[in-house]
Amino acid sequence: MSNPQRAFIFDMDGTIVDNMAFHTKSWVAFFERRGHQIDPDEFFRATAGRQGHEIMRHYLGEHLTKEESAQLDFEKESLYRELYAPHLATVRGFDQFIANAKRGGVALAVATAAPNDNITFTLDGLDLRGHFRAVVGAADVARGKPNPDVFLLAAERSGALPAHSIVFEDAPLGVEAARRAGMRAVALTTTLPAEAFAEFDNVICIARDFSELDIEQLFAAAPAATAI
């Protein structure tokens, strides 16, 4: 009997690339244009992993139409790409980590709340897309994190069951989405300290970057409790 397909599912922003400070700067500038002041740290904790239209409607009003929200989201994301473009790079150890995973037969996928333009900007800008069996973004699912939709679809397209899939995340909402999907998670402290993930029983490892991770040790690790 063949071994089950194993998968690594990567969040993109803050996980593959250390870019969340630039997203925050673009959000601050976007809201300042509209006379709104936001606390950057509080905003990140409340929104990281949510889709753009969900954030727009929450902060600017449920009255926004889909078309109005899309226009606002385009403005904000264009500002982000302008800010981050000179700094585009993978998180330390990522390239070697995925090379090792592929040699070990692990299916690789991206599951992100980012719109297609940002996915293209990052994955194609770094020539990474060809490494992934599946790339799932905001356009592919109706609900953002902490709902599990994006991770479940990424696992399905990778040919792996949730129990054999490990999620890599930098945000609590993303780790919660993995928990709801029945998946173990690795939390990266690119954006928040380790304490931010202390409450999650599906976190099997907390690391600064991918150079600290061992593939077989991750798959051997079990969460403290079964996710629901």
Q: Where are the domains of the chain?
A: 7-18+89-220, 20-86
Bridge partners for 38 per DSSP: none
Q: How many CB atoms lie within 10 A of CB 198?
A: 10
Fold of 7-18+89-220: Rossmann fold (3.40.50)
Distance, in Å, from the CA atom of 228 to the CA atom of 43, rounded to the nearest integer, reads 27
pLDDT at 196: 94
pTM across the whole model: 0.88
- Sign of dihedral through CA atoms 51, 175, 205, 111? negative
* Residue at token pair 């990778």: 158
* Chain centroid, CA 141 distance in Å: 14
Angle subtended at Cα 118 by Cα 13 and Cα 206, rounded to the nearest 5 degrees: 10
Distance, in Å, from the CA atom of 215 to the CA atom of 217, rounded to the nearest integer, reads 6
pLDDT at 227: 33
* Chain centroid, CA 129 distance in Å: 15
* Tokens encoding 199: 């409450």
By C-alpha distance, which of 127, 45, 136 is closest to 88?
Answer: 127
Distance, in Å, from the CA atom of 27 to the CA atom of 84, rounded to the nearest integer, reads 13
pLDDT at 223: 64
By C-alpha distance, which of 164, 173, 182 is closest to 221?
Answer: 164
* Tokens encoding 212: 């600290």
pLDDT at 228: 29
Fold of 20-86: DNA polymerase; domain 1 (1.10.150)
Mean pLDDT by 10-residue block, N- to C-terminus, for the chain (228 residues)?
A: 89 97 92 88 79 82 85 92 97 98 98 95 98 96 94 98 97 96 97 94 96 96 51
